[in-house]
Amino acid sequence: MQMEEQVTQLAVTACPFCGVGCGLVVEGGNAFPLRSHPITQGSLSLRGWSTGELLRSPLRVKSAFARSPNGTKHPIEISEALKLIVERLKELREHYGSEVIGILGSARLTNEENRLIRQLAVALGTPNLDSFQRLGYLPFNSVGLESLEGASSITVLAVDLAHRHPQIFRRVSKALKQGATVRFVDSRKVQLASMATEHIRPTPGQELNALPPTNGDGEVVLISSEIALHGQGAKAVEALQGRQVMFLTDYVNQRGMVDAGIRPFPEGASAYEMLQRTFTGDLKALLVFADDPFEFFPELAKEAFSRLEFVVVVDSVKTEAMKYAHVVLPGALLAEKEGTFTNCEGQVLNLEPVAPPLTGLTEKQILEQLLALLGETPEAGEASPFSVNSTPIEPESPTDERPFVVALDSGTFWNNHALAKASVTVWREMRRPFVDFPNGYVTVNPEDARELGIRMFTPVKMESAEGEITLPANIDERAARGTLLVPMFLWEKVGKALGALQFDTSLKIPVFRPTAVKVVL
Amino acid sequence: MEKRWVSEGNLKAILAELAKDGQLIAPVKIGDEVLFRRVNDVEQICPDTEYVNSFIPPKEFVLPARQTLLSYELDNSRITLHALREDLPEQVIFGIRSCDVAGIEYLTKFLSGEMFGRPDLADELFMERRKRLTILSVVCQQPAETCMCVCCEGGPALESGFDWQLTRLERGWLVEVGSEKGWALVERFRQLVPIAPEEAIAEKEERVRQVVSNFHKFSPHRVQTMAASRMLSKGRLEHAFWQKVGERCVECGGCAFVCPTCYCFNVADLPVEQTIEDDGQLVPLVPGAPTKIPTKGRWERTRCRDSCMLAGYVRHAGGIYPRRTTGERCLTRFFHKLSWQFHFRMGRLGCTGCGRCIVTCMGNIGISQVSEEMVEALTGVPAKEREIVLRNA
């Protein structure tokens, strides 16, 4: 052991999962929360507890790779890889123009790194800059966690807190114990439902119409991407004007990433559109920085990536995209970096490395070298504030002909996440739905199931106005009567089949419009 | 048993001697946190009056959160096994608190196979570490807000489990020796640890009485062991009770990771390195439906901390969940901690009253809260109110 040097401060890094920004230490290779950390206060989610495991996961990328002409990959020096990338990009740019290049940034990277990614986009002259980890982000001036602790009333708007943001769940249950009123507006019967003072259960997509008026100054509204992913993002920004809101970001640095300018330029394509543009040949190269298009859009990403002429993937852990990559570069985990990130409150928090980067390089250094090789470039400048206008997407309501509404259930949000796959216990938990339901599932309310005469695993055929799909039933009271819940990882498949997958032109993200269906057995 | 006495200066000298061998683990204060770390300089040690306990449980020194068990090489049908023989160092831990000592004793009882009367089933990796660990515990004289050892026979002082139990007195320290290893240490430093005078023993007893009395007067948390044991052992709590408890569990596993007596682990075979062509998933990783059977490469069998509160932990092959809801899993956890059945088999409660689960729990279902809810279920009167009534009477 090497404890000789007198340490005066513990190196504190952040949990790399949700956006609350828990601080933790790694002691003896294992992560532990700190009692003295203002956000963590001694608690972590299971994902947070696994942070130490990520440092030595077999899924870590340990060197740079380049694809040989025969399709296999061989390790190369990082400096060689960088030269190769610059050469190839210059070639493509000369041949087709710079707008055939797309760049994906990441909410798993620091603020500084995301600023460099934006700088890279400017240097390459491409307007195509975004990230799949921006999905559902809404620009709110979030209140701080301390106002949650002292709140007399909390309104939770369509968030499965216990699964998605346990650290916030902890504060809400504390507030409940201290006598705060908690109103939970969500169709699902999730953990908060029976604890809350009041559970309001609107049809999915109608949450904003059912939102009770403000309870006065002591009220805080909690909202997450779930509203936006149902196509109600811009409407939510409008409806919550003047209220104290905390937007719970999905990824650790989602807010910082968007603030650093990782979002579509006005003339550029969004992440989803970039993939679509590969079909028309308008996009030929993609630089992926710690993003994973395969996480939620496996079908589209597969088609798109096999069409791309040049793919670069920079990540600390292996992802599906690397299969298609021409060059793979090893990244570093947050725990191996210095820098800052912005949590859901909007606090810019410091990161201290608890371990050295596996290859000695972080994404920051890789980006700096890449920019140096590209030569003199114009300054990127500060990104303008992110704003949204009205949303054109109308959720469908049940009708006599189609009495059920299919909606998205983001309780399984983490189940396909690249970092969740890299840790033993987290991945065991996360892969349960894939093992228990190898053919996917749709969650049906037990009473509905009884009336329909279906049991666990009975194939349920759902017919919308635009299409149909059959999935095995998972009977759980999580689903309200008249709703059918689709897990997040089947978003694309079900959305495409039922015509529910739509594009929100205001937020520039794909959304799942709650869609009315008929159940046929 | 005769007790010993050591002056402040001589204790420092002993610790300095142990530190010189590179053996000493002691509490170190870094920023606002206290951690047990290897120390080379006794000046680094945080005085016992300045900390109550470290949040990271010292069980890590005998049962690390992650350990490699063995490694093997696959070459189609040939398997070459590589045993992992670590050269474990002798370690002396100073400043460990009674609750954690009781925890290590509990772990030893289970992992040595003694609980089943089957020493042949001992967990070798644990036992190797345990045998090489000398425990010099220090009796707490000021409970922290979440401390509850008094309720669980986990402190402030213990009868067994330590090699030396030290109590700070007005002048110097009382040394109680609890094992042969402890006597060997006395022998090694015999000039420095003379036989304790009667007054010193009396002073220690008085100090412990004072701590217990302060605990009853000022500490807000209790483990209601009597009520909990009655309710749990006879299965008198309704399903609805556990459902209500379970609703507050977010399945973080934190309670098990910080608990001094929790020993559950998960075993997984991990490739030392996966090729870049793999599909970005750990394969085959955990028991249950591996996606493909590996035929090549070097693998490591790893065990890592696990928690009975996790759904994946209770999942049986074929997708059967004997304890499907978090409520049912809470019942199992608290039954293990507080029921008579386990008390009988292990010789003590499964809770030593360290209070870490109260701090780490996301849903406020630490052991004190749940046991108090059991009292309420038993008597119809909330525990807090009942205590006030008793105190006023």
| CATH number of residue A170's parent domain | 3.40.228.10
Tell me if A50 is assigned to some domain.
Answer: no
Each residue's pLDDT tens digit, A276-289 = 999 999 999 999 99
A305 touches chain B (CB under 8 A): no
- Considering only A89-98, A186-195, B294-303, which range has the smallest mean pLDDT? B294-303
Q: What interface predicted TM-score (ipTM) does this complex get?
A: 0.92
A476 touches chain B (CB under 8 A): no
Task: Compare all CA atoms of chain B with the CA of A64 and give the residue at the minimum distance.
Answer: B276
Residue A297: what pLDDT?
A: 95
The C-alpha atoms of residue A150 and residue A164 are separated, in whole angstroms, by: 22
Residue B79: what pLDDT?
A: 87
Nearest-Cα distance to chain B for A385, in Å, is 35
Residue A509 sits in a domain whose CATH number is: 2.40.40.20
Nearest-Cα distance to chain A for B171, in Å, is 30
Question: Does the pLDDT at position A408 exceed 60?
Answer: yes
A183: helix, strand or coil: strand
Is A370 found in the same domain as A261?
yes
> Which domain-ending residue is among A232, A248, A264?
A248
> Which domain-ending residue is among B192, B218, B244?
B218
- Considering only A59-73, A181-195, A471-485, B161-175, which range has the smallest mean pLDDT? A59-73
| HEC string for B321-389 | CCCCCHHHHHHHHHHHHHCHHHHHHHCCCCCCCCCHHHHHCCCCCCHHHHHHHHHHHHHCCCHHHHHHH
Is A270 found in the same domain as A223?
no
Residues 20-49 on B with a CB inside 8 Å of A are 28, 30-33, 35, 37-40, 44
Is B380 found in the same domain as B352?
yes
How far from A429 is each of A160, A432, B248, B379, CA to CA, in Å?
Answer: 17, 6, 18, 38
Is B189 found in the same domain as B229?
no
- Inter-chain residue contact A319 with B280, CB threshold 8 Å: yes
Query: Cβ contacts of residue A405 below 8 Å, gap of 6+?
Result: A203, A204, A205, A395, A396, A397, A398, A482, A483, A484, A514, A515, A516, A517
| HEC string for A371-394 | HHHHCCCCCCCCCCCCCCCCCCCC
Is B388 found in the same domain as B373?
yes
Q: Which residues of chain B have pLDDT under 50?
A: 280, 284-290, 393
Is A189 found in the same domain as A113?
no
* Between A383 and B137, the higher pLDDT residue: B137
Task: Compare all CA atoms of chain B with the CA of A30 and give the residue at the minimum distance.
Answer: B65
Nearest-Cα distance to chain B for A11, in Å, is 10
Residue B391: what pLDDT?
A: 55
DSSP code per residue over A335-383? GG--EEEE-TT--EEEE--SS--TTS--HHHHHHHHHHHH-S-----PP
Is B243 found in the same domain as B178?
no
User: What is the H or E stretch that residue A274 is in?
Assistant: helix A271-280
Residue B291: what pLDDT?
A: 55
Each residue's pLDDT tens digit, B172-185 = 999 999 999 999 99
A9 touches chain B (CB under 8 A): yes
Contact in structure between A302 and A294 (CB atoms under 8 Å): yes
Which of A27, A327, A417, A477 is the best residue to mutate to test the B interface, defined by the most B CB atoms within 10 Å of its own CB?
Answer: A27
Per the structure, the complete domain to which residue A165 belongs is given by: 145-248
- Inter-chain residue contact A62 with B363, CB threshold 8 Å: no
Each residue's pLDDT tens digit, A477-516 = 999 999 999 999 999 999 999 999 999 988 999 999 999 9
Tell me if B294 is assigned to some domain.
Answer: no
Tell me if B288 is assigned to some domain.
Answer: no
Residues 232-291 on B with a CB inside 8 Å of A are 244, 247-248, 250-254, 257, 266, 268, 270-274, 276-282, 285-286, 288-289
Q: Six-digit token pair at B359? A: 């701090």
DSSP code per residue over B265-327? EEEEEEESS--TTS-SS--SBSSS--SS---EEEEEEEEEE--TTSHHHHPBTTTB-TT-SHH
- Considering only A71-80, A89-98, B198-207, B284-293, which range has the smallest mean pLDDT? B284-293
The C-alpha atoms of residue A244 and residue B374 are separated, in whole angstroms, by: 38
Tell me if A110 is assigned to some domain.
Answer: yes
Is B246 found in the same domain as B179?
no
Task: Sort out which chain B residues have CB atoms less than 8 A from A59's CB and list them.
Answer: 274, 280-282
The C-alpha atoms of residue A116 and residue A103 are separated, in whole angstroms, by: 12
- Considering only A63-67, A369-373, A469-473, B297-301, which range has the smallest mean pLDDT? B297-301
CB pairs below 8 Å between A and B: how many?
175
Residues 181-220 on B with a CB inside 8 Å of A are none
Q: Six-digit token pair at B60? A: 């890590």
- Inter-chain residue contact B254 with A44, CB threshold 8 Å: yes
Backbone φ and ψ for B100, nearest 5 degrees, come out as -75, -30
Amino acid letter for position B106: Y
Is A234 found in the same domain as A155?
yes
Q: How confident is the model at residue A378 (pLDDT cuts 50, 70, 90)?
A: confident
Average pLDDT, chain A: 92
Backbone φ and ψ for B182, nearest 5 degrees, come out as -65, -40
Number of independent structural domains in chain B: 2
Alpha helices in A125-264 (DSSP H): 145-149, 161-164, 166-177, 191-195, 207-210, 225-229, 233-239, 254-259
Task: Compare all CA atoms of chain A with the CA of B40 and give the residue at the minimum distance.
Answer: A4
Tell me if A500 is assigned to some domain.
Answer: yes
**Quick one: what percent of chain A has pLDDT higher than 90?**
79
Closest C-alpha to A288, from A319, A249, A254, A251: A319
> Which domain-ending residue is among A191, A218, A248?
A248
Number of independent structural domains in chain A: 3
The C-alpha atoms of residue A131 and residue A7 are separated, in whole angstroms, by: 38
Q: How confident is the model at residue A6 (pLDDT cuts 50, 70, 90)?
A: low
Query: Cβ contacts of residue A145 below 8 Å, gap of 6+?
Result: A20, A38, A39, A171, A246, A345
Give the one of A62, A162, A421 whose C-beta lies nearest to B250's C-beta.
A162
- Inter-chain residue contact A421 with B282, CB threshold 8 Å: yes
Nearest-Cα distance to chain B for A185, in Å, is 17
- Inter-chain residue contact B282 with A58, CB threshold 8 Å: yes
DSSP code per residue over A121-159? HHHHT--EEE-GGGTT-----PPPHHHHHT-SEEEEES-
Is A259 found in the same domain as A124?
yes
Amino acid letter for position A113: E
Contact in structure between A24 and A48 (CB atoms under 8 Å): yes
- Considering only A191-205, A220-234, A402-416, B62-76, which range has the smallest mean pLDDT? B62-76
Length of chain B: 393
Per the structure, the complete domain to which residue B385 belongs is given by: 225-261+309-392
Nearest-Cα distance to chain A for B361, in Å, is 6
The C-alpha atoms of residue B27 and residue B25 are separated, in whole angstroms, by: 7
The C-alpha atoms of residue A20 and residue A165 are separated, in whole angstroms, by: 7
The C-alpha atoms of residue A298 and residue A285 are separated, in whole angstroms, by: 18
